[in-house]
């Protein structure tokens, strides 16, 4: 009896160890075991099948050869710090599969102890979470895009509110003035028919200004962003068409309009015509007396994004900067931003007739195309307009 009992006690650990090996190799997870020296000395068949390597290749730190280089330092830090503290850990990293493809896995390690409570190392299980990671990545991209769309919508709403505020201001000032003149002069004519010759021309002038304001506002309101209207636009052809439209003024003022080779971009053709027609018209209008206007248009790829454009800059998108520079009267640089406001004018009608809508339209067109426009100038030193547009 004693002999059998001894035989049974000797065989039992072997049977348990063999049973554990069978369970580990048939478990639907990858299992590893490390000793108190942090080195791994056992991997189940699931791990070996996944990596396509043999046990000897994985011993010690050999298994780490399969970890993606971008994940290795992070994994090592997590493993080492938790091992030293004998604390459970969970971490994900990319492990090279037998076919050479890196797959995301979730590694869950826990400390092991002997029957007497002594620390014996760690045992860990790993599962393939590649599909889960792909879903998370897709969701993150969707959330990022939705957040970006929301930010853009908020930006557009704020900009729309600013335009409405400008319009309200214009309606209460600029548009009221010609109407007030028509009313006052009409009453003067009615009360004194002999004043017809004096006041009728003034009534006609006020009416013409009111007509111009309404027409320009309609033009501004029609400059909407519509993806269906976008097409490939050769800006060289746009400049040529605008020059033809302005041919009489160019000839009259003996102006010289030159242009470097401009790119082809995705845009709304008519709005591009509006943009450059207004910029070139302004350059011709605000020219110096007795000095023929000279306008030069250049283009270059944008490498450094202006700080004021960073909130709308799209990484990976190509941008071009187009510069329209003239030799005209220029303006005080303190007005570089306000000149783009609706009905904002720096001169009286007697000096330079106009409605103050042209540059507001330019800004709206550029914003419709997710770009930005800047003005730079000094008095009597010409003006320069920089337009950043996505290609």
Assigned domain for 277 exists:
yes
Q: How far apart, in whole angstroms, are the C-alpha atoms of residue 72 and residue 92?
A: 11
Report percent pLDDT > 70 for the chain: 83
Instruction: Indicate which CATH number applies to the domain containing 65.
Output: 3.30.450.20
Assigned domain for 87 exists:
yes
Q: Is the domain of 229 the same as that of 344?
A: yes
Assigned domain for 201 exists:
no
Assigned domain for 72 exists:
yes
Please report which helix (H) or strand (E) contains residue 139, including its range.
helix 130-172
Asked if the model's pLDDT at residue 70 lies above 50, the reply is: yes
- Dihedral angle, C-alpha 334, 335, 341, 345, nearest 10 °: 150
β 256-259/294-301 pair status: parallel
Last residue of some domain: 76, 102, 128? 128
Query: C-alpha angle with apex 220: 335 to 153, nearest 5 degrees?
Result: 85
Sheet (strand 89-96) strand order: 40-43, 30-34, 119-128, 102-113, 89-96
Q: Lowest mean pLDDT: which of 3-17, 92-106, 265-279?
A: 3-17
Instruction: Indicate which CATH number applies to the domain containing 270.
Output: 3.30.565.10
Assigned domain for 174 exists:
no
Residues 6+ apart with CB under 8 A from 335: 346
- Is-contact 230 370, C-beta < 8 A? no
What phi and psi values does residue 109 have, to the nearest 5 degrees?
-110, 140
β 102-113/89-96 pair status: antiparallel
Please report which helix (H) or strand (E) contains residue 144, including its range.
helix 130-172
- Is-contact 90 46, C-beta < 8 A? no
Number of domains in the chain: 2
pLDDT at 217: 64
Residues 6+ apart with CB under 8 A from 80: 38
DSSP output for 324-369:
EEE-S----GGGTTGGGSTT--SS-TTTS---S-HHHHHHHHHHHT
pLDDT at 137: 85
DSSP-derived 3-state class of residue 96: strand
Asked if the model's pLDDT at residue 235 lies above 90, the reply is: yes
Q: Is the domain of 276 the same as that of 383?
A: yes
Q: How far apart, in whole angstroms, are the C-alpha atoms of residue 262 and residue 29?
A: 61
Q: Which of 24, 18, 19 is nearest to 42 (CA)?
A: 24
Asked if the model's pLDDT at residue 343 lies above 70, the reply is: no
Domain with 22 in it: 2-128
Q: How far apart, in whole angstroms, are the C-alpha atoms of residue 66 and residue 105?
A: 12
Assigned domain for 28 exists:
yes
DSSP output for 224-284:
---GGG-EEEEHHHHHHHHHHHTHHHHHHHT-EEEE-PPPEEEE-HHHHHHHHHHHHHHHH
The first and second tokens of residue 152, run together, are 């853009």
- Is-contact 390 314, C-beta < 8 A? yes
Q: Lowest mean pLDDT: which of 154-168, 290-304, 328-342?
A: 154-168
Q: Measured in whole angstroms, how far is the alpha carbon of residue 363 from the centre of its chain?
A: 18
Task: State in Å, rounded, how far the first CA of the chain is from the last one.
Answer: 92
347: left (phi over 0), alpha (psi -120 to 50) or beta: beta
Asked if the model's pLDDT at residue 254 lies above 80, the reply is: yes
Q: Taking the CB of residue 166, how many other CB atoms lie within 10 A of it?
A: 16
DSSP-derived 3-state class of residue 222: helix
Mean pLDDT across 321-329: 92
What phi and psi values does residue 56 have, to the nearest 5 degrees?
-60, -35
- Is-contact 75 63, C-beta < 8 A? no
pTM of the full structure? 0.50
Q: Is the domain of 98 the same as that of 233?
A: no
The first and second tokens of residue 368, run together, are 């419709």
pLDDT at 168: 60
Q: Is the domain of 121 the same as that of 268?
A: no
Q: How far apart, in whole angstroms, are the C-alpha atoms of residue 123 and residue 42?
A: 9
Mean pLDDT across 194-221: 75
Residues 149-191 pLDDT 10s: 788 778 777 766 766 665 665 555 556 667 777 888 888 888 8
Last residue of some domain: 104, 128, 152? 128
Assigned domain for 307 exists:
yes
């Amino acid at each position: 009896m004693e002999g059998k009992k001894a035989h049974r006690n000797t065989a039992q650990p072997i049977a348990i160890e063999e049973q554990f090996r069978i369970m580990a190799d048939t478990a639907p997870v990858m299992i590893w075991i490390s000793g108190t020296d942090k080195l791994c000395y056992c991997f189940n068949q699931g791990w070996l099948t996944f990596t396509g390597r043999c046990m000897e290749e994985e011993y010690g730190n050999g298994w780490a050869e399969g970890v993606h280089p971008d994940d290795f330092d992070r994994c090592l830090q997590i493993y080492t710090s938790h091992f030293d503290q004998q604390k459970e850990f969970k971490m994900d990293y990319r492990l090279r599969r037998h076919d050479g493809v890196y797959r995301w896995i979730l590694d869950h390690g826990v400390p092991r102890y002997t029957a007497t409570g002594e620390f014996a190392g760690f045992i860990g299980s790993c599962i393939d979470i590649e599909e889960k990671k792909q879903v998370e990545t897709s969701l993150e991209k969707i959330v990022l895009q939705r957040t970006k769309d929301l930010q853009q919508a908020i930006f557009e709403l704020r900009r729309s509110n600013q335009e409405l505020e400008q319009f309200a201001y214009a309606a209460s000032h600029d548009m009221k003035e010609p109407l007030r003149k028509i009313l006052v002069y009409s009453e003067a004519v009615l009360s004194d028919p002999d004043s017809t010759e004096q006041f009728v021309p003034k009534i006609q002038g006020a009416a013409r200004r009111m007509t111009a304001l309404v027409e320009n506002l309609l033009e501004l309101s029609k400059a909407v962003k519509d993806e269906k209207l976008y097409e490939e636009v050769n800006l060289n052809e746009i400049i040529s068409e605008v020059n033809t439209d302005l041919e009489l003024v160019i000839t009259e003022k003996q102006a010289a309009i030159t242009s470097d080779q401009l790119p082809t971009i995705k845009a709304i053709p008519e709005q591009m015509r509006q943009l450059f027609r207004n910029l070139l018209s302004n350059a011709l209008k605000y020219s110096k007396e007795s000095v023929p206007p000279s306008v030069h248009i250049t283009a270059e790829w944008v490498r450094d994004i202006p700080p004021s454009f960073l909130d709308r800059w799209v990484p990976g998108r190509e941008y071009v900067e187009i510069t329209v520079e003239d030799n005209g009267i220029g303006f005080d640089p303190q007005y570089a931003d306000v000149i783009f406001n609706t009905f904002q004018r720096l001169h009286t009608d007697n000096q330079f007739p106009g409605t103050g809508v042209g540059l507001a339209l330019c800004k709206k067109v550029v914003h419709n195309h997710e770009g930005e426009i800047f003005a730079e100038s000094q008095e009597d030193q010409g003006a320069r307009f920089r337009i950043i547009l996505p290609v």
